[in-house]
Amino acid sequence: MRAALLLALTLLSGPAMAQDTAAAAQAAAARLAAAGESLGAAQASRDRVAALTETVRAYEEGLAALRDGLRRAAIRERAIAVELDAKRNEIAGLLGALLSMSRAPAPLLLLHPAGSLGTARSGLIATEVTPALQAEAEALRADLQEAADLAALQQSAIGTLEEGLAGAQSARSALSEAISERTDLPLRFNEDPVATALLLASTDTLDAFASGLAQTVDTELSSTVPDASAQKGGIALPVQGQVLRGFGEADASGVARPGLVIATAPRSLVSTPVAATLRFRGELLDYGNVAILEPASGVLVILAGLAEVYGRTGEILPAGAAVGLMGGEPPAPHEILTETAQGGGAQQSETLYLEVREGDAPVDPATWFAPG
């Protein structure tokens, strides 16, 4: 009985703290449902581009939150399984001791070789064991129920994932169409396409191309120049993602570039967090699709590696305007479930290169952007 009491107290000494992962996943599902409702409203909005841009962001945030909730659920489910497995031998020993006790007749169980004092002590020990065992049984029951609920949550999420992924794709398609039809943004200048083509053909470095951008202007239409200097150092990154390499950090092959390499999810929306002039868009050298923004006079922000680039060269884009989309294909719902079941986060298979230039030289993007 003393051994049984010590074992019961040991099991009770480290109860698992349950995390409200189900509530987090349900909140994410609600965000996706709200994004679906806003998609229909955005189609009829006066400013369709702005409404659809916000809808795409809402879908991205909802899907990211749902994946995070499912990842937490998978981690919690595995933790419960490990806890239960670790207690397996202890619980088996405890049940064996109780089974032996239950087979002894009650009067004999209360008797003790040491006499009445020993019998009294045995009774006190028995009164301590029973509540401990009951508490442990309740804790085990709660763990098993939580594990079952988390498993059911992951299985039921596949429908929500399917709807969210399909809605996000519809919103992106509608956004691309709306931007192609947009004519209301102010133009700072008209581009000279011949000069742009000559510049592309005659330069073999990003430095040379950026230095020659002034030659591509045909007609100045506005003296209004965006100026984000007051926000310098606190501007948000143009895409949701994780910075893989900072300014001047070399990659695995030893190549160092004066910009940030940002890992993003497939088809992520890239936008400008501050008003800026679109100075160039298109294929550039080995950088792929590139958008070059000018958020302040003499300051260029190069965004490279996009699959689609939006806008017309010379347009003044407002803060939050869509610049383009990353490439890749979003994973299927069953792949997301497999990924979260293994405890992994969202797949960030695409990379955006961000470089900032002041005058003719690149500077650390951290002087303008807040990577955190």
pLDDT 10s digits, 153-191: 667 777 788 888 888 888 889 889 888 888 888 999 999
pLDDT over 70, % of the chain: 76
Q: What pLDDT is attached to residue 190?
A: 93
Q: Mean of the pLDDT values across residues 98-120? A: 55
Cα-to-chain-centroid distance, residue 97: 49
Q: State both tokens at 189.
A: 């200048």
* Distance, CA of 323 to CA of 288 (rounded, Å): 15
**pLDDT, tens digit (0-9, with 9 covering 90-100), for 139-149:** 767 777 777 77
Residue with tokens 């951290």: 366
Q: What pLDDT is attached to residue 20?
A: 64
Q: Mapping DSSP to helix (H, G, I), strand (E, B) and coil, where does residue 372 land? A: coil
* Distance, CA of 67 to CA of 242 (rounded, Å): 16
- Asked if residues 53 and 271 have their Cβ atoms less than 8 Å apart, the reply is yes
- Asked if residues 308 and 326 have their Cβ atoms less than 8 Å apart, the reply is no
DSSP calls for 292-339: EEEEETTEEEEEEEESEE-S-TTBEEPTTEEEEE--S-PPPHHHHHHH
* Distance, CA of 38 to CA of 85 (rounded, Å): 46
* Distance, CA of 332 to CA of 185 (rounded, Å): 36
pLDDT surpasses 80 at 44: no
Q: What pLDDT is attached to residue 253?
A: 83
Q: Mean of the pLDDT values across residues 41-68? A: 82
pLDDT surpasses 70 at 341: no
Q: State both tokens at 326.
A: 């990353």
Q: State both tokens at 2.
A: 């003393």
pLDDT greater at residue 52 or residue 87: 52
Q: What pLDDT is attached to residue 49?
A: 86
Contacts of 139 (CB under 8 A, 6+ apart): 12, 15, 16
- Asked if residues 36 and 170 have their Cβ atoms less than 8 Å apart, the reply is no
H or E segment at 219? strand 217-220
Q: What pLDDT is attached to residue 78?
A: 79
Among 30-34, 115-119, 220-224, 275-279, where is mean pLDDT lowest?
A: 115-119
The pLDDT-based confidence of 294 (bands split at 50, 70, 90) is very high
Phi, psi of 42, deg, nearest 5: -65, -30
Q: State both tokens at 179.
A: 């931007």
Q: Mean of the pLDDT values across residues 231-240? A: 92
* Distance, CA of 339 to CA of 79 (rounded, Å): 17
Cα-to-chain-centroid distance, residue 272: 19
Q: What pLDDT is attached to residue 5?
A: 34
pLDDT surpasses 60 at 202: yes
pLDDT greater at residue 341 or residue 317: 317
Q: What pLDDT is attached to residue 324?
A: 93
Q: What pLDDT is attached to residue 344?
A: 56
- Asked if residues 266 and 306 have their Cβ atoms less than 8 Å apart, the reply is no
pLDDT surpasses 60 at 343: no
Identify the CA nearest to 134 among candidates 77, 93, 78, 94. Answer: 94
Cα-to-chain-centroid distance, residue 261: 17
* Distance, CA of 12 to CA of 267 (rounded, Å): 48
Q: Mean of the pLDDT values across residues 251-277? A: 90
Q: Mapping DSSP to helix (H, G, I), strand (E, B) and coil, where does residue 262 land? A: strand
Alpha helices in the chain (DSSP H): 2-12, 21-43, 48-86, 88-103, 106-110, 116-180, 193-202, 206-211, 333-341
pLDDT greater at residue 92 or residue 314: 314
Q: What pLDDT is attached to residue 200?
A: 93
Q: State both tokens at 359.
A: 């005058």
Global pTM reads 0.74
